[in-house]
Chains A and B, each alone.
Chain A
Amino acid sequence: MELLAQATGVTGNVEALKSAIAVMGYGLAAIGPGIGIGIVVGNAVQAMARQPEAAGMVRTTMFLGIAFTEALALIGFVLFFLA
């Protein structure tokens, strides 16, 4: 962290830099899951539209898919608190 502070020319409060980077890290961690959840829900909506009688099953599977995709964003959230 000190090296990074020197490299970017930041003097003074290194802790503030650390939390700023943590916030950016969380933002980056949210990109992938965001796209992933979009794909999951989009395809689930398509499946429900094509076969409305399977909507219940698709919905359950969709929530599962969202839950697994979301895991990455949640790990980012935890790291944001740890930093």
Chain B
Amino acid sequence: MTADQVVLAIECDPAQPAACAPANTNELFETPTLFSIGGFGVNRAMLLMVLAALVVIALLLAAYRRPRLVPTRFGVMVEGVVGYVRDEVAVGVIGPEGVRYFPYLLSLFLFILVGNLFGITPLVNFPVTSRMAIPAFLALVTWVIFVILGFARNGFKYLRDIVWPSSVPLALRPLVGLIEFFSTFLLRPLTLAVRLFANMVAGHMLLSVLMVGGLIFITRFDGTSVLGVLWFALGIPIFAFEVFVAILQAYIFTLLAAVYIQTSLHPEH
């Protein structure tokens, strides 16, 4: 992008790199290596990922270490989230045996939630789930769980029901079976990961363009930029919307993981 395209009708000042040549969108997601341990470079995204796990552990420890008969307000809040994941997601979707998968679903939900909310946390400002590796790994773990569960519970019948569904007319079976095979074993993990990744990337870009872009315009033109103020003002409702998206995406990821586990346990439904 050439400099004259960037700032409308204002002379581009090469001494102000932020206004003259704004960052590439890829740079929003690149985290330079900070230090290395035994040849492995550690960057900001990795530290944030560990921090997200620690936040989840600390949250649950603080709420459940000393259970009280009359819980504190914080305890009620955490209990509400935990209870919702157990009753509505684990048991509600999978059935009574869903309690077995509840710990996995809860860790999934809380880790993704904290990772998503990092995107709108002041001073952190980076959703760790917008790095493809993290949603991809979580989706891969879910994939491994539901495929192994399907074969362990139903044996070879699990695969046969997918590629040769008996509820479909004979002429359509090869076609439906092929579609079902691809959708179960390839598209399920792919869409699970990409849904979370895409939502977080879009949210992070939107917030960066509106709020950081607005701030750059305001500071660059000494507060005379109406456009900068407008951009920044537009960023505030988007910020609130991102809170909603962060919670919704964590919920959808957990819900779909539960549904995939349920279809592996009872493939006929």
CB of B259 within 8 A of chain A?
Answer: yes
Give the distance in Å from the alpha carbon of A67 to the alpha carbon of B253 in the complex: 9
Q: A56 contacts which of B88, B183, B255, B256 (Cβ < 8 Å)?
A: B88
Give the distance in Å from the alpha carbon of A64 to the alpha carbon of B183 in the complex: 14
- B255, A70: Cβ atoms closer than 8 Å: no
- B187, A67: Cβ atoms closer than 8 Å: no
- A60, B191: Cβ atoms closer than 8 Å: no
CB of B100 within 8 A of chain A?
Answer: no
Instruction: For residue A54, give the distance in angstroms from its CB to the closest CB of chain B.
Output: 13
Instruction: For residue B114, give the distance in angstroms from its CB to the closest CB of chain A.
Output: 21
CB of B198 within 8 A of chain A?
Answer: yes
CB of B51 within 8 A of chain A?
Answer: no
B interface, how many residues as a size bin? 10 to 19
- A60, B195: Cβ atoms closer than 8 Å: no
Give the distance in Å from the alpha carbon of A77 to the alpha carbon of B200 in the complex: 13
The A interface is mostly helix, strand or loop, or mixed, namely: helix
- A74, B259: Cβ atoms closer than 8 Å: no
Give the distance in Å from the alpha carbon of A70 to the alpha carbon of B92 in the complex: 23
Q: Which residue of B lies closest to A71 (CB)?
A: B191
- A74, B198: Cβ atoms closer than 8 Å: yes
CB of B252 within 8 A of chain A?
Answer: yes
Give the distance in Å from the alpha carbon of A67 to the alpha carbon of B199 in the complex: 13
CB of A78 within 8 A of chain B?
Answer: yes
- B93, A60: Cβ atoms closer than 8 Å: yes
CB of A31 within 8 A of chain B?
Answer: no
Q: Which residues of B contact A (CB under 8 A)?
A: 88, 92-93, 183, 187, 190-191, 194-195, 198, 251-252, 255-256, 259
Q: Could you list 16 examples of A-B contacts with CB < 8 Å? A: A56-B88, A56-B92, A63-B251, A64-B255, A64-B256, A66-B252, A67-B252, A70-B191, A70-B195, A71-B191, A74-B191, A74-B194, A74-B198, A75-B187, A75-B191, A77-B194
